Structure 1
């Protein structure tokens, strides 16, 4: 008699639009999958730097054909590709996760779940950090103007004005790329040339370009991962970030117990999937309060329990 091999390992593939160590959105997805693999809950495969929806569809179909239990399209721009493959009868037993902005225009299905984060809450947390610097005008530089990012920057303005009501927050500049550091650098230089005293951005592949421009003028930034570069460490105050484990763990449990599907998950402050990262007092932001980290922890709790409300 052959020994019992035990339960089969759950296989998960995640398809990224950028690199897994970008310090931002892609790293949040890849890091959560890697953490679950280290815990022995899944076996993971990470596909990096998938350039477009056509290549994403090819990758999704490849993993579905290979028998993966869950295929994650980790970009809002991949949603149509995931739906295209997920709705094919041949893959009815494969499970798929559509991420990013897809929940605005698509619906979950029996073998498909969707995920998004509360963009307004995310932006508010970042804006609160920016407001506490007492620096203005604030220039904003981002990648693509997808609806999720537009909402994020509206939330950002609410967070800034909750702390510093008179601060000028400029309209976001979208370079069109999440990865092009040169375009981001050029946009940052333009903002600084026109008098911006703080640059708000995302932790993305383009971050080093913004860090270099800001550091050259000794201007602070918010929103980057300070580990992006030695330059970023000197000028970046802090950021809000995604912690996907509180959302992904129960998703894997549903996958294993057969209840996966027909569900949308949202990362929020309350479920501890949206958090404030470490906030640092840098020379370029001398007015940042000394007790900013304690204030941040207090704010996160007040937002989670409803003591502080976002918006009117």
Structure 2
């Protein structure tokens, strides 16, 4: 009897201990965090994984200090303004490989894709037809589909103004121009720059040297050196790095940059530069896509829109340059001056734009001839 009673007592004690142990384990379990759930699920039912995503495709590295850097600044501005998630790929070649890059971005959830170089155009057109639910925007081209836009800025207006500075500065009357490819975008810029030069200095010539690359700092610099050796005392460019400006500085010459304000990269040579301001356009287009109001279009904004600008004119520029630029800029803004308004002659001295007339946008977008004052040939 004693043993049975003892056994019962031991069972009761053991049972109580087990129950107490379970109670302690439950009491030590952390409480649920209601704020964490609220963060993951927003009022509209979307989760962080469903955040609106935008893709950017770059032809060069974001550290180029030029073209790609300017687009990447626009991407960062977009993130700050709208709070969207962005993804990007650098140094994507202008060939079929870009198709895979776009499809990878779509697989990651991109609803809008910006392809930021001319050579991507045909591939963007093809992929846009395969993915009608995605919005595609191609920079500097001319093709559109129902879900593909093209966009660019009238950088030629700012180039004309920079040409005024160069034309007033040169003493040798020879200005070197380092240029990437002989496509209409580049040819148009060379022509606008030259027209600006000759508006203040009819005796000056603009010598062109092609590099056949957008991004190659060494090659760009060597092209500038060759122009300097030939007598140029001012260097301009349609390239993505400050290489040409640095060559000018090393030679004791002066320079007009491109894409961004690169004063710090060649402080003794840099006078000014036509520059880009992509951010507001990116915000406008992504917001339209988010709101369901996006439509395919062709955009070509200018100085008036603020998508193109002239970098601050530095102490390296000639006396009176700021005043002259301000005067001409006002004429462009109020419509009194059209950069490609006649009379304009080509290299052979033939009138190609009559007085009182001007090139249309389609003519500018397909331009394949140089104005009088340019030394060099358009390479096919």
Q: TM-score, normalised by structure 1?
A: 0.87
What is the distance in 1 between the residues matched to 2:82 and 2:283?
12
Look up the match of 1:94: 134
Bigger CA radius of gyration: 2
- After superposition, the Cα gap between the structure-2 partners of 1:247 and 1:129, relative to the gap in structure 1 and judged at 3 Å, is farther
Look up the match of 2:199: 162
1:1-312 to 2 correspondence within 5 Å?
A: 5-6=42-43, 9-88=51-130, 91-100=131-140, 102-103=141-142, 106=143, 108-135=144-171, 136-170=173-207, 172-202=208-238, 204-205=240-241, 207-208=242-243, 210-224=244-258, 225=260, 227=262, 230=265, 232-282=266-316, 288-289=318-319, 292-293=321-322, 295-310=324-339, 311-312=341-342
| Bigger Cα displacement from structure 2, 185-194 vs 121-130 | 121-130
Report how far residue 128 of structure 1 moved: 2.3
Structure 2 stretches lacking a partner, 5+ long: 1-33, 343-380
- After superposition, the Cα gap between the structure-2 partners of 1:44 and 1:296, relative to the gap in structure 1 and judged at 3 Å, is farther
Mapped contact 1:113–1:260 kept (Cα < 8 A): no
| Bigger Cα displacement from structure 2, 252-261 vs 187-196 | 252-261
Deviation string for 1:228-259 (max 9, x for gaps)? 754x1111111011111332222122212222
- After superposition, the Cα gap between the structure-2 partners of 1:119 and 1:293, relative to the gap in structure 1 and judged at 3 Å, is closer
What is the distance in 1 between the residues matched to 2:321 and 2:83?
37
Aligned-residue Cα RMSD (Å) equals 2.3
What is the distance in 1 between the residues matched to 2:263 and 2:103?
33
Report how far residue 186 of structure 1 moved: 2.0
Mapped contact 1:129–1:239 kept (Cα < 8 A): no
What is the distance in 1 between the residues matched to 2:313 and 2:78?
27
- After superposition, the Cα gap between the structure-2 partners of 1:211 and 1:121, relative to the gap in structure 1 and judged at 3 Å, is closer
Q: TM-score, normalised by structure 2?
A: 0.72
- After superposition, the Cα gap between the structure-2 partners of 1:297 and 1:33, relative to the gap in structure 1 and judged at 3 Å, is farther
Mapped contact 1:241–1:274 kept (Cα < 8 A): yes
- After superposition, the Cα gap between the structure-2 partners of 1:245 and 1:132, relative to the gap in structure 1 and judged at 3 Å, is farther
What secondary structure is seen at the aligned counterpart in 2 of 1:39? helix
Deviation string for 1:239-289 (max 9, x for gaps)? 01111133222212221222223211113112111111111122xx5xx02
What is the distance in 2 between the residues matched to 1:86 and 1:250?
20
* Aligned residue pairs, count: 297
What is the distance in 2 between the residues matched to 1:162 and 1:6?
60
